[in-house]
Amino acid sequence: MIVNPFAKYIFVAIINLIMKLSEDQIVNLLGGTNAVARLCKVTPAAVAQWKTKGIPQDKLMFLGAELEKKSFGLMNRKEMFPKTYKFIWPELE
């Protein structure tokens, strides 16, 4: 199979853009403030704060599989947590 180098470059650029989603974009990708609050069992007010102050690491790890699914694999746990994914999700190895 011959891969066009330019197409590969564009694909990698798109992946890099997606991987740099803001907290607000992550929350929206997961269905919005209320949906994320239900997933994490916190108040919508807490999630609203995450949009500006950052999503806590433990919550981001919790949301990792859902992010992977909602982004159709473009965001994946191996790339989001390169140093720790093996310990958190050994099935990914």
Comparing 4 with 2, which gets the higher pLDDT? 4
Residue 2 lies in a domain: no
Residue 32 lies in a domain: yes
CA angle 6/9/11 to nearest 5° reads: 110
Tell me the average pLDDT across 1-20. Answer: 57
19-63, pLDDT tens digit by residue?
A: 577 889 889 989 999 999 999 999 999 999 998 899 998 998 889
Q: What is the pLDDT of residue 30?
A: 92
CATH of the domain at 74: 1.10.260
Tell me the average pLDDT across 61-74. Answer: 87
Region for 2 from its dihedrals, namely left if φ exceeds 0, alpha if ψ lies in -120 to 50, beta otherwise: beta
Give the domain extent around 43. 22-92
